[in-house]
Amino acid sequence: MPSLGDVVRDWHRGVQAVARGDWGCALRLFSGDPEPPARMCFNVGCVHLLAGDPEAALRAFDQAVTKDTCMAVGFFQRGVANFQLERFQEALSDFRLALAQLRENSTIDYTQLGLRFKLKAWEVLFNVGAAQSRLGLWAEATRSLEEALSKGPEGARDDLHAALDQLQKQAPLQPRQVPRGEVFRPHRRHLEHLEPVDFLGKAKVVSPAIPDDQHEGTQPQQPQVQGADGEVRPGAAPRAGDTVSHRTATSCGPRMPSEAETEVGSGQVAQVICDEQRPCVEQVGKQVPPGPRVAGGLDSNPSEDPSGAGGVAMVGPASLVTVMVQCAFTLALKVPRGADLSTLRTLLSQALPHQAQHGQLSYRDPSNKGRWVPLPREETLQRAWRDAAAGPGALQLQCRGAGGRPALYQVVAQHNYSARGPEDLALQRGDVVDVLCEVDQAWLEGHCDGHIGIFPKCFVVPTGQYV
C-alpha cells in the first residue's frame, strides 16, 4: 500500500504528464493506487478520452460515480463517453443524472476541489438536447435548448441560437465537455508538505566573548576539570557549603492569592479567564536540587540562610540558567456592573500588562451554547452585561492572544467545517471569526474561540449577511 506522500507525488506528476501530452505516463501514475479515490478515477477517464479510447474512459467514469454518487461532473463526462460510443440513450440518462446532481443550482464550481472547471446547468441542458437530437427527438431537443437559453449567460446566447437553428434543420449537435487537459489536481498545501523539512537545522555553539555577559540564552565558557579517573569534564567542582542561585525568566508570575482581588467600587464580580502568557518575572534565590557529584569534587550542601528568609548565597552568572514557562490561570476581579472595555483593560493591566494591551477579550454567551464571542466594540460588551444580568451567573470573560495581530473584519460560519490538519481552524455553524489575513481568493486565516487557523472562504459570510 503506497503512503499518502507517494500518492500525492504520483498524482502531481500525472497532472504534469497530462499537461505535456504524455497519456501513457499519466495513466501509469494515476493508476498507481490500488484503491483510487473518485477524483483519480475521473482523471483516468479524462486521459482515456484524450487518448481516443472512450471504452476505457467509460469504465473509469463508472468507478468514479460509483465511489462518489454525487459527482455531477462524473456523470457529465460519462455521458460524453457514451455519446462517443454512439450509446445515445445511455448518454441522455447520464446528462439527466448530472442535471439532477446540480440540485437546481446554476453552477457547481470545482475549483476548490482541484478541477479548474465550472459545471453550468445550461451546458448540461445543451448536452441533453444533443443526445435527444441523435435519438430523433427534435421537439424535446428544441425544448431543452430553449430552457438552456433561459439559464445561459449573455455570452452563450449566440451559440445557443445557432444550435436552435441547426435543430430546425434537423442537424444533430455535438456535446460539450470538460476542457481538454483539465483534471483534478492535488491541493497546494499537500504539495508543500512533500518537500523534506529540516526541523533541527545546523548545530552551532553560542558563547559570549565577555565572561560577564548576561545575554539571555547564552552562558560563558566553563573551565575544564580533570576527574579522578583522568577524564576531562566541563564545569568546576562545587565546594562544600556552596549554594547555587537559580534565576528563572518565566512567562508566569507568582500565584496570586485569593485575597489579592482588585476592588473597584461596589458591584458584581466579573470572572476573567486569561489563557495567555503572563509577564516576565525574575526569581532569584531558589535553591537548585542537588545533582550528581562531579568526579574529584566534594558533596554540595546548601548553606542556611542567615536571615531566615529562605534565600541562598549569590554566585557568579555562570550558574544561572533560563527556564521558559507557559501557564494558564484564572483571575477574579471585582468591577462595577456595566463597566466599559477601558475599565476592564485597566484592571487587567495591573496584573497582566502585556495581555491587557494585546489580548483578545471574549465573553461566554449562554444563549449561543456557551461559545466565546469576541468583544471588539463597546456595544458588544454592554450586551454581554445585559445577558449576565438576566441570568444567575456572573459575566465570564476570556483574554487570549492572537499574536498581537489586529482583526481585519468579522465573519460568521454558515456551514460546519472540520479541520483536516493542524493548520486548519474548525468551525461550527454560527461561529463568529476574526479575520486576521486573506491568504488567497479561496482561503482566510482567522481567530475563533482562542484558536488561530485557516479555513475556506466559502464556508463563511460577513456578519451582516448571516441569517
338 and 444 in a common domain: no
417 and 393 in a common domain: no
60 and 150 in a common domain: yes
pLDDT digit string (tens) for 114-157?
999 999 999 999 999 999 999 999 999 999 999 999 988 888 88
392 and 335 in a common domain: yes
State the chain's mean pLDDT as an integer.
74
In this model, does residue 181 exceed pLDDT 60? yes
Measured distance CA(351)–CA(237) in Å, rounded: 41
- State percent of the chain over pLDDT 70: 61
pLDDT digit string (tens) for 18-38?
999 999 999 999 988 888 899
Q: Does the residue 155 lie in any domain?
A: yes
83-86, Cβ contacts within 8 angstroms, sequence gap of 24 or more: 83/127, 83/130, 83/131, 83/134, 83/175, 84/49, 84/54, 85/54, 85/55, 85/58, 86/134
Q: Which residue has the higher pLDDT, 194 or 335?
A: 335
436 and 390 in a common domain: no
For residue 19, give the nearest of 119, 123, 116 by alpha carbon: 116
pLDDT digit string (tens) for 284-329?
334 434 444 434 443 444 444 444 444 444 555 555 644 444 445 5
Q: Does the residue 229 lie in any domain?
A: no
| Calculated CA dihedral for residues 313, 316, 318, 322, nearest 10 degrees | 60
Hey, is 374 helix, strand or coil? Answer: strand
397 and 425 in a common domain: no
Q: Does the residue 43 lie in any domain?
A: yes
In this model, does residue 375 exceed pLDDT 90? no
In this model, does residue 454 exceed pLDDT 70? yes
Cβ 78 vs Cβ 94: under 8 Å: yes
135 and 42 in a common domain: yes
Lowest mean pLDDT among 63-77, 113-127, 211-225, 412-426: 211-225
**Domain count along the chain:** 3
pLDDT at res. 268:
41
Q: Does the residue 294 lie in any domain?
A: no
For residue 452, give the nearest of 428, 432, 433 by alpha carbon: 433
pLDDT at res. 259:
36
In this model, does residue 187 exceed pLDDT 60? yes
Q: What CATH number is attached to the domain comprising 454?
A: 2.30.30.40
Tell how strand 329-334 and strand 269-274 pair up: antiparallel
Q: What CATH number is attached to the domain comprising 374?
A: 3.10.20.90
Q: Cα–Cα distances in Å, from 77 out to 27, 68, 330?
A: 17, 14, 59
Q: For residue 43, what pLDDT band results from cuts at 50, 70 and 90?
A: very high
Q: For residue 205, what pLDDT band results from cuts at 50, 70 and 90?
A: confident
Measured distance CA(352)–CA(142) in Å, rounded: 74
pLDDT at res. 419:
86
What distance, in Å, lies between the first and last C-alpha atoms of the chain?
A: 46
pLDDT at res. 440:
86
For residue 407, give the nearest of 426, 433, 440, 385 by alpha carbon: 433
Cβ 262 vs Cβ 343: under 8 Å: no
Q: For residue 382, what pLDDT band results from cuts at 50, 70 and 90?
A: confident
Of 401, 420, 447, the residue that ends a domain is 401
277 and 148 in a common domain: no
Beta-bridge partner residues of 438:
444
Give one word for 265, left, alpha or beta, with left for phi > 0 and alpha for psi -120 to 50: left
pLDDT at res. 78:
96
pLDDT digit string (tens) for 344-369?
777 777 766 555 555 566 767 766 66
Of 382, 401, 420, the residue that ends a domain is 401
**Boundaries of domain holding 123:** 4-192
Cβ 308 vs Cβ 385: under 8 Å: no
| Cell 479548474, residue located | 116
456 and 378 in a common domain: no
Of 175, 192, 209, the residue that ends a domain is 192
446 and 394 in a common domain: no
Q: Does the residue 209 lie in any domain?
A: no
Helix (H) or strand (E) holding 346: helix 341-351
355 and 423 in a common domain: no
252 and 134 in a common domain: no
